[in-house]
Each structure stands twice: as structure tokens, then as C-alpha cells.
A and B are shown apart, each in its own frame.
Chain A
């Protein structure tokens, strides 16, 4: 999501000379930590805020957190272009990332051992995947953790046995596979399927503010939710908010 924030920040600063938005990278946890520690005004996150974080914010800074949905994302499962596998079910994904399925032939692919690429544990994507796919069980210890989705893409694209996951916006140079819910048909991670909720791994990207957003932070948020801001979402490769979601946030 860093890349999205950077684009927003740059466009916002271009439109409002003299107003500066600083963007720091890292995972969703990084943003939350910065929000709690008071070093950031807004935190981008690809997962919902945890109760613990809410409490810490209240305790440390004595503020309620405010949540904004700012974009829609389909969490894609990547394989290298050379891998011909069509689709995977959620239970298959779980078994793969738990380290129980270790060969592609067990899920209908060629005879090749599976190499797991995961995200650093600060990432909201990591937390989302762990919750929704692994059902809160642990990733296999052999899963390599890389510090950004881009690194995952890069690694998967170079590794014939590789599999990774991450935001749809990043999926360049790799194939995304269709994902099937435990008891359903495989679905492609397209904008339509994400908007309708048919794709099992779609989620909202969020911005959290400590207390009521004010000043530049408020202007920035307004910009993000404006048509211009949502156009940037599309430009980067995520999906813009469906109209009703924008309304719900306000």
C-alpha cells in the first residue's frame, strides 16, 4: 500500500503547494505503531485495527481511532508464469502455506517442490492471509519472509516452484491463480468479483487517524476519497471504492 500512499501524497502535494505529506514504508503494523507512538497522523493499513492497538491508542494518546475505507483490494495468489496451475481452493492454500502440501503435483500441478514466499509479519497482508487462509495457524517455518510485496513478486517470478501472495496491484511478471472458497467455484481476482464480494480474499484498504482528522490530514483524506484520489487508486492497480462503501464511510 506504500506505493498508493506515495502516489496520493505526491498528487496531493502537487495540488496543494506548501503542504507536505511524509510517507514512511513498512507494513500495516508499522503504521499502527507510528500512530500509537504519535509519530504519524494517519496510518494506512490493509487490515482492520486490532483491539490491542485500539486500547494502546486510548491509553497512550487518549484518543479514539477513526477509520476510513479508502480502496478495495483483492489479495492475489501469485505463481510464476511457467506454472500452469489454474486454481487453488482455500483449504489447499492453507495446506500449502502450513507446509503440509510440499509438491505441486498434490494440488494438480507438475512434479515440483513448492517454495513458499510470505510477507514480513508487520504486514497487514500477512495478518489477513494468516487469519483468512491459515485460520490463525502458523505459517510453515520454511516460508521465506520478504519485506515487501514487490520482493515477493520478484522472488516468485524467478522461482519455478514458487508461490506467494499480495495485493493485486503488484501482480506484474507473475500469474495470479483463481481462488475457490472451501465449497465453491474458482473465482478470478478481478475488480468485478472483488466489488461484489465473490472473490474470497477481497478486502478494504484503510486509513486510520488518531482522533478526528484535522488540518492537512483532513484535507488529505478528503482528497483520497475524492474522484481524483480514487482515480489514482486505479492507476496504481488497486480497485476504487464501490460507491456505497464511500457513502458508508462518511
Chain B
């Protein structure tokens, strides 16, 4: 069984780091190691390797510390308190000129209004929409490839999807902005040319490969004993697919969905270019423009002075985004572990 899963993982050693379902092989450590005299420089090199191996851990820690460092002073700085009240970052307020409490992101003006809620609504909206498109596409595609496609088709399609994964997001953003937006407006008559729908198509293109690769792995990794048993009992192929293979592969698919979600909510260039960037408080109408957390950071950070309240709020957005994706990543890992356990146990 182990080999089978490993083989599945070998097939996808592609670029995407986490798209990998593997079981640790036997330890490389041999009893013989270390029983002979080792020259000094070997030991130095080995020590160096062990230290460098901590770089990833260090990087994660530094990322968190150094973006938090730019945000946290908002808690005590007088300059910040003069301009912004922290509760207004999260709660609605009845600003002058409005007749009810509102959530507003208008960071330039007197007074500046920094409410992060519309931005998170925007991120969530465009991400959910992208998921609605990419999950059926990715999983459907994976099922087709794993269950129905002839070998020749499979050999072609997998590299093609890897190719899709290799397209830089600025190119997808460009495509959404220049080509898809005009097409969508002509076809559906959208009021806004750049809107959540157009941006979501662009996003879907980036996450389809993620969902496809992980789902396909998971489906391939379902033991043939299971499917053969079902077939032997007289089940039809579609019954096997829907009632045996799919349920067995669910944790893998879930991992793909979670990781795809994390990717989509953190994607910047596509939404920056194609979403219209209007901070509207509206979750369900996908024909309106949206302003996401990521696009806001990208568009505004270059223009504020270090230490300005606006600067601090943008770094706070970064910290929050980091937190969200961190949780999603851990969740995705848990699903993958569960899948491995389930498959190795059977």
C-alpha cells in the first residue's frame, strides 16, 4: 500500500510544493553511520546543513514578527490615536454626513475612515465565487482523468495543467482585465465592467491546478482492492466512482479545497487588476466590483509614509491575512494526514 501512495506522489513532483501525498519512507539512518573517524570539515559542513535547515522555520517567524512590528505600535502611538480609533477598524460608525452606522474604507480624507470589514467581505466574496467555479471543475477534471480518460489523454492533460499552474498571476490578471472583462460584459451585460465575477474566473484559473492535482492524487491513491471488490459485487462503474472512490478520496479533495481557498484569498495581482477595486459592502451580488485585502495593500502601501496610521493599518491587514492563510494551511495539512492514515490503514 505504501508503495502505491508513494507512486502517486512521484507523479506530481511538480512545482506546487504542497500537492503531495506521501508516506515517509524508511529512515536513511543506518546503524553503521558515525562509527568511523570523520574529518573536521565534514562535521562543520554537517553542522552547517543542520543550521540552514532551520531557515524555513526562521523565515516563518521573521515574517510574522516583522509585519506585526509595523502594525502593533498602533496600540500605544499618540499619532495613531489622534487619527483613528481602533474600534472603528472593525465596527460600523455613524460618520458625519451619514444617517446610519456604516462600514467604510476611505483611508484618505478628513477624517480618514479605515474599516477593514468591507475589504474582508470583498476578499471572501471573490474567493467563494472562485471556489464555486474551480471546485467542480478541478474535481470533475480529476475524476475524468483518474477514472475515464484513456492513458494517452492523461499523459497529455497532466502536463498541460502543470503548465496552467506555471502561468504567472500577473498574466492571468492581464487576461482577465483585457479579454475576459470585455467578453463578460458583452455576454452578460454587467453594469460594472470589472467585477467580482471576472476576477473570480481569473482566480479560478490559478486554483484549478491546486485542486486538480491534490484530488487526482487522492483518487489515484484509493486502493484498487476497494474498487475491484465493488466491481466484483456487481456495482456499475459510476456507482464505484461516486460511492466508493469519491468517499475514500474525500479528505484529499477537502485538502485541495482548503489549500485552494488559501491560495485564492491571498492572490493579489489578479484581483488588483480585474476586480474594479470598489469597497462595496455586499456579499451576494457577484456583478459588483470588489476591493480585496490583498489589492488594498498592493495599491496603497507604496504611497504612505512609514509609521503613518494608514501604514500601520495596512500592515495590520497583512497580519490578519497571514493569520487566515496560516490556519488554512494547518487545516489542509490535517486533511492530508487523515487521508494518509485512512489509506494506509485499509
A and B touch in the complex (CB under 8 A): yes
Are B305 and A37 in contact (CB-based, < 8 A)? yes
Is the pair A29, B109 in contact by a Cβ cutoff of 8 Å?
no
Q: Say yes or no: A53 contacts B278, CB within 8 Å.
A: no
Indicate if the CB atoms of A36 and B306 lie closer than 8 Å: yes
| Complex-state Cα separation, A113 to B190, whole angstroms | 12
Verify if A26 is at the interface (C-beta below 8 Å from B): yes
Which of A120, A127, A147, A159 is in CB contact (< 8 Å) with B193?
A159
Tell me which of A138-146, A194-202, A232-240 binds B.
A138-146
List A contacts of B306 (CB < 8 A).
33, 36-37, 60
Give 28 A-B contacts (CB < 8 Å), ordered by A residue. Answer: A27-B303, A29-B304, A30-B302, A30-B303, A32-B303, A32-B305, A33-B304, A56-B305, A56-B308, A60-B306, A115-B191, A120-B300, A121-B106, A121-B108, A121-B300, A122-B299, A122-B302, A136-B109, A136-B110, A138-B109, A139-B106, A141-B118, A141-B280, A142-B289, A144-B192, A144-B276, A144-B278, A158-B185
Complex: chain A residue closest to B273, CB-CB: A147
Q: Which residue of A lies closest to B288 (CB)?
A: A142
Question: Cβ of B133 < 8 Å from any Cβ of A?
Answer: no
- Chain B 290-326 against A: per-residue CB contact (8 Å), 1 yes, 0 no? 0100000001101111101000000000000000000
Residues in B107-148 with C-beta less than 8 Å from chain A? 107-110, 113, 118
Across-interface contacts of B104 in A (CB, < 8 A): 138, 141
Task: Out of A36, A60, A126, A144, name the residue touching B194 (CB < 8 Å).
Answer: A144
Q: In chain B between 82 and 124, which residues have their CB closer than 8 angstroms to a CB of chain A? A: 95, 97, 104, 106-110, 113, 118
Residue B244 CB within 8 A of the other chain: no
Q: How far is the CA of A181 from the CA of B191 in the complex (A)?
A: 30
Tell me the nearest residue of chain B to A33, going by C-beta. B305
Q: Mark B28-54, 1 if CB is under 8 A from A, else 0.
A: 000000000000000000000000000
A86: chain B residues at CB < 8 Å are none
User: Could you tell me the distance between the alpha carbons of A46 and B19 in the complex, rounded to whole angstroms?
Assistant: 48
Interface size on A, residues (CB 8 A): 34
Q: Is B164 an interface residue (CB 8 A)?
A: no
| Chain B contacts with A in 172-217, Cβ cutoff 8 A | 182, 185, 191-194
A137 at the interface (CB under 8 A from B): yes
| Chain A residues with CB under 8 A of B118 | 141
Chain A residues proximal to chain B, CB less than 8 Å: 26-27, 29-30, 32-33, 36-37, 53, 56, 60, 113, 115, 120-122, 126-127, 130, 136-139, 141-147, 155, 158-159, 161
Q: With A122-B303, A145-B291, A147-B299 in contact, do A155 and B108 touch (Cβ < 8 Å)?
A: no
Chain B residues near A120 (CB-CB < 8 A): 277, 299-300, 303
B279 an interface residue at 8 Å Cβ cutoff? yes
The CB with the most chain B CB atoms within 10 A, among A113, A139, A142, A144, is that of A144
**CB-defined contacts of B280 to chain A, threshold 8 Å:** 141-142
Which residue on A lies nearest to B276, using beta carbons? A144
CB distance from B132 to the nearest CB of A (A): 23
Which one of B272, B278, B279, B281 has the greatest number of beta carbons of chain A within 10 Å?
Answer: B278
User: Do residues B303 and A127 form an inter-chain contact, with CB atoms below 8 A?
Assistant: no
A142 to B272, CA, bound (A): 16
Minimum CB–CB distance for A56 against chain B, Å: 5
Contact mask for chain B residues 236-271; partner A; CB cutoff 8 A; 1 contact, 0 none: 000000000000000000000000000000000000
**Which residues of chain B are within 8 angstroms of A37 by Cβ–Cβ distance?**
305-306
Determine which of A33, A113, A145, A161 lies in contact with B302 in the assembled complex, contact meaning CB atoms within 8 Å: A33
CB-CB under 8 A from A142, the residues of chain B are 278, 280, 288-289
